A and B are shown apart, each in its own frame.
Chain A
Amino acid sequence: MAKNICTVAEQRNGELRKITYEVISEARRLADRTGGKVVTFLLGGPDIREKASALGAYGADEVRVAASDHLSTYTTDAYCQVLAAGVAKLDPAILLMGASVEGKDLSARLAAALGAGIAMDCTRFDLDDEFNLIATRPMYAGKVFAEVEFCGGGIQVATARPNVMTVTPPDDSRKALVEDLPVTLDPSALKTRVIEVMGDAAGKVDLTEAEIIVSGGRGMKDAENFHILENLASVLGATVGASRSAVDAGWRSHSDQVGQTGKTVTPNLYIACGISGSIQHLAGMSSSKVIVAVNKDPDAPIFQKADYGIVGDLFDYVPVLTEEFRKIKSE
């Protein structure tokens, strides 16, 4: 069965996350060339089974469901135990997962458990003439792209960067074969547990998954001024990011930082306000599909990467832009 491709679905609180569909769609495209099947593993609490049938519409041929109270909330220990056994039994050519926070943690451990190599956080997948996976991934936060191949003939494990792979429009006539995966976990062998989920901001989209990001830098001058970016973000349904200098100044939290020592992002639209564009920042955001820069300094390096630039004071422009966006959004 070495032509098959396995994927792992990602759920939180019983709801499937978008990355699940991105990964299945990409796996389908690859499997159509290898002639293999797409088999998706879905792990979760007792109610997760009802989510299984929907995965067929995106391209899964089979769904293996592991439903248990021990799997409602993700832990590396429990998920890795179940998946290592399940995937090894299928012995697929490729195991494809999402490079989300959870996916990175799980895939790295799972690859080691399977004795397999891993290509993390990829932006493109190809197959060579013998259907071996060629994974393209950014390194140095995007200053360089590497083409990675696998050696040794084992399972090829790779993760896809969120927001990069195109989701195939669901075809409801496609049905997946759903089977239960027996869960035999020894709870005493589980060494970690989640005690609490803190500050779960429902509806808040993380930078790594955001379709639109409005980001502020040193030009914001203080923490208080970020409210004008928050206003713009709320009109656009965007997430607010920050440059390293804004984070180091204490204006924004560490989790908001975009760049080489922060998050690498790939939104459809990145609006940089008062960000001059250090090499570290540019590395983290230059894979964005469309980049807009608003900066007073016409020589700021950010304009080298921007598709559209406004040379001017962000405090003059951002409020007016916010109103203009509001107008077209209400049309």
Chain B
Amino acid sequence: MKQVPDTETQIKINPDGTGIVADDIKWIMNPYDEFGVEEALRIKEKLGGTVTVISVGPKRATEAIRTALAMGADKGMLLVDEAFQNGDAYATAKALSEAIKNVPFDLIFCGQRAIDDDGASVGAALAHFLGIPQVSLVTKVEITDDGKALTAHRPIEGATLLIHSELPALLTAQKGLNEPRYASLPGIMKAKKKPLEEKTASDLGLDPSSVGSQGSRTRVRKLTPPPARKPGKIVQGETVQETSAALVRLLREEAKVV
């Protein structure tokens, strides 16, 4: 699970173009991760088990873990260390895989992507490091009766695949999987007492140079604002007919797109 800026946020780039201005940002649980947490809770409610929420991030990410605990998760773990900062998908998945190796699991949910860096890669890399199969972008999940496998719906361009996977497995959650619950007031009260461990790189036996920015295979050189669009024009005419004809003519003759 990742804590990300709320989707309403106007993203401002810092003066040297190396990152975003973090002041005044409202931080939320990544919406796709929320689908994953919700699905994990539903499976637990049906079949039993424990839901552990794990995140890599600064201290403030504790709030997002508490939100998941308030929804009903049992335990939280935050990988928090200077050494974990600014990791790419490879380094972040590496850190997560070391933490997860010590937690018995049958199923891992990730969001299909984080809505900040839009990398869509940590889940697959994590599954690789753990040596388990992955199914990306799932919109429906059912555990088989023997509890040893699952079936999942995976939308692709113009169709949906029904996929069978052995457990343990990693799934990435897509919108449509469920409607995440809101944390109830008793849930929020209970969450305060639930265990939330913090782990550093050395706690996990990780060499600090193998994670975070040092362990990364990619680096952001520069951030730039999106290319500016040319100012547009309002198409006007005396009648609906005339305006419509004028627009269609512009699209054909000026923009050449139809």
A in complex with B: yes
The interface stretch among A33-41, A45-53, A168-176, A204-212 is: A204-212
Chain A, 279-293, contact with B by CB distance < 8 Å: what is the 0/1 string?
Answer: 110000011011110
B159 / chain A contacts, CB cutoff of 8 Å? 197-201
Contact pick for B8, options A112, A150, A279, CB 8 Å: A279
Distance in angstroms from A283 CB to nearest chain B CB is: 8
Contact B218 A118 (CB under 8 A): yes
Q: Is the CB of B175 within 8 A of A257?
A: yes
Instruction: Please state if B232 and A144 are interface contacts (CB–CB under 8 Å).
Output: no
Instruction: List the one stretch of A59-67, A223-231, A319-327 in contact with chain B.
Output: A319-327
Contact with B along A179-198 (1 / 0, CB 8 A): 00000000000011111111
Most buried by A among B20, B217, B221: B217
A306 to B158, CA, bound (A): 28
- Per the bound structure, the CA–CA distance linking A277 and B64 in Å amounts to 28
Known A-B contacts A151-B217, A311-B234; the reply to A261 vs B134 at CB < 8 A is no
A253 to nearest B CB, angstroms? 7
- List of A residues within 8 angstroms of B145 by Cβ: none
Closest beta carbon of chain B to A204's beta carbon, Å: 4
CB distance from B207 to the nearest CB of A (A): 15
**Chain A interface SS verdict (over half):** mixed
A3 within 8 Å of B (CB atoms): no
Q: Does A76 contact B (CB under 8 A)?
A: yes
Q: Are A261 and B31 in contact (CB under 8 A)?
A: yes
Q: Does A316 contact B (CB under 8 A)?
A: yes
**Knowing that A146-B220, A254-B176 are A-B contacts, what are 8 other residue pairs whose CB atoms are under 8 Å apart, sorted by A's residue number?**
A139-B117, A144-B20, A144-B224, A154-B217, A191-B166, A192-B163, A197-B159, A269-B255
Q: Is A21 an interface residue (CB 8 A)?
A: no
Question: Is the CB of A218 closer than 8 A to any CB of chain B?
Answer: no
Cβ of A167 under 8 Å from chain B: no
A195 and B163 form a contact (CB under 8 A) = yes
A95 lies within 8 A of chain B by Cβ: no
Contacting pair B158 A201 (CB below 8 A): yes
Contact of A301 with B by CB under 8 A: no
Q: A140-B118, A144-B11, A309-B233 are in contact. Are A269 and B257 (CB under 8 A)?
A: yes
Complex Cα gap A120–B88 (Å): 11
Task: Check if B230 sits within 8 Å of A307, measured CB to CB.
Answer: yes
Across-interface contacts of B162 in A (CB, < 8 A): 194-198
The answer to the question of A119 belonging to the interface, with a C-beta cut-off of 8 Å to chain B, is: yes
Query: Which of B7, B121, B244, B258 contacts A120, CB < 8 Å?
Result: B121
Enumerate chain A residues within 8 angstroms of B240, measured Cβ to Cβ.
312, 316-317, 320
Does A120 contact B118, Cβ atoms closer than 8 Å?
Answer: yes
Nearest chain A residue, comparing its CB with the CB of B121: A108
Does B116 reach chain A (CB closer than 8 Å)?
yes
B142-172 Cβ-contact flags toward A at 8 Å (1 or 0): 0000000001010111111111111001000
B13 at the interface (CB under 8 A from A): yes
Given contacts A139-B117, A209-B157, contact A152 B217 (CB under 8 A): yes
- CA of A56 to CA of B34, assembled, Å: 45
Enumerate 6 A-B pairs (CB-CB under 8 Å) in ascending A order: A111-B125, A145-B227, A149-B219, A151-B216, A193-B164, A253-B176
Cβ contact within 8 Å between A261 and B234 = no
The residue that B223 contacts in the complex, of A115, A145, A298, A307, with Cβ under 8 A, is: A145
Q: Are B216 and A117 in contact (CB under 8 A)?
A: yes
Task: Tell me the bound Cα distance from A149 to B245 in angstroms.
Answer: 47
Cβ contacts under 8 Å, B156 to chain A: 101-102
- Tell whether, in the assembled complex, residue B247 and residue A292 are in contact, meaning their CB atoms are under 8 Å apart: yes
CA distance A323 to B166 in the complex (A): 53
Distance to closest chain B CB from A176 (angstroms): 26
